[in-house]
Structure 1
């Protein structure tokens, strides 16, 4: 789902809550993603445009669970979070040739590119990783996202052993296998980036010559 779609959906949900009357007031969060009126509003408010398809509005189990804010932290939902993380971990595909790292220079290009998946993009266009939107990548950056932790010195602060390689790969491939309601896109699982691109991003994070580790 694109950022503009998310914003439009949030605004529409807010309007729906304002007009829902006393019934909405009984719920802490008001009508949610499983509310029939809300779903009808989504279907009538959006249409396919280029490669941006309304099918993206259909949530899988993980997305539906995390659409209720309390589920991310409520102790009562802990077992469900664990089950979701296990299910997402099962989707992870490891390097097909056993090689973990690609070219950090290519990885930097991917990390600094936010192109892909919007109605203005073309199907044959290579998607970026959009990493810069949430993370600091190098020490030289003066403008960077802060939703996620800084990645500067990522490789310096960790051993480049198998455990680190697997943990890093999992985060990029399907972050919800580690944190059920992570804000990080499931890059590999959702087909946003491919195996080669993941290897390049791995090199960006772990190669000693990468600007991340300077």
Structure 2
């Protein structure tokens, strides 16, 4: 929030809260009152609960760095990545890939996780919002890199082979919790945050790595 706007909004409330008008409000007073105002404006509604007011440490540190216009120092970034890496859980049965056709539908869907949604309803991955994934999809975002030929470019001809295992595990980890690889990644933590189920993760994995998927059949320009 713009600092001058924050001061203007907070000042009347701070002055009312202080025991005497002779007491000069401090920056900490303004910050405290602004935080209280923001907290009081939130209410629990549907699946949008009050826990959204308590960001995890990675979110908090990355947000502070962004506001300051700085990058995290290496030590802090490495600590965040190490902590986030511990959250990545591989599939219990060792099966990483599902059906790429289902994966494409999940990637196209941006539904879910709004207060009007049912908590048990499956969410979409909204992958095309940030990535080009197939040539057939003409509407896509560019916040993230193109994923055309994702498996082909990484030499994955058989996702079940031992040679492909490092790329398969990395891709699973990246979908599950990208902050394990980039401390302040803006990519959603689809697995760690429960945005996608384990079966949905498998389907998106197939979209990216199955040689029969349009991702790997189409030749990128």
Task: Report the TM-score when normalising by structure 2.
Answer: 0.79
Whether 1:150 and 2:178 are equivalent positions in the alignment is no
Residue 90, structure 1, aligned to residue 90, structure 2: no
* Conserved 8 A contact 2:6-2:34: no
Could you tell me which residue of structure 2 aligns to residue 8 of structure 1? none
What are the Cα deviations for residues 113-151 of structure 1, in whole angstroms up to 9, with x where unaligned?
Answer: 111110121222111111111111111222211111111
Counterpart of 2:190 (choices 176, 187, 190) is 187
Q: 1:43 aligns with which of 39, 46, 57?
A: 39
**In the alignment, is the contact (CA less than 8 A) between 1:103 and 1:203 conserved in 2?**
yes
Structure number with greater Rg is 2
* 1:8-27 alignment, distance < 5 Å: 13-14=1-2, 17-20=4-7
Partners of 2:91 and 2:69 in 1: CA distance: 30
- Taking the aligned partners of 1:37 and 1:153, their CA distance within structure 2 comes to 51
Q: Which string of whole-angstrom CA distances, capped at 9 and with x for unpartnered residues, describes residues 28-84 of structure 1?
A: xxx9xxx43342122111211211123112111100011121789636x11100000
Distance 1:142 1:183 in 2: 23
SS in 1 for 2:194: coil
Aligned to 2:202: 199
Tell me, in whole angstroms, the C-alpha distance in 2 between the residues paired with 1:48 and 1:93: 30
Partner of 1:163: 166
1:101 to 97, 104, 108: 97
Which residue, out of 57, 71, 76, partners 1:74? 71
Q: CA RMSD in A?
A: 1.9
Q: Secondary structure at the match of 2:118?
A: coil
Give a deviation string over 1:151-208, Cα, whole Å, max 9, x none.
Answer: 1111110123111011111110000000000000111111111211111110000011
Distance 1:171 1:17, change over 3 A: farther
CA distance in 2, matches of 1:107, 1:73: 37
Distance 1:74 1:124 in 2: 37
Aligned length: 188
* CA-CA distance at 1:209 after TM superposition: 1.1
Closer, same or farther: CA 70–78 of 1 in aligned 2, 3 Å: farther
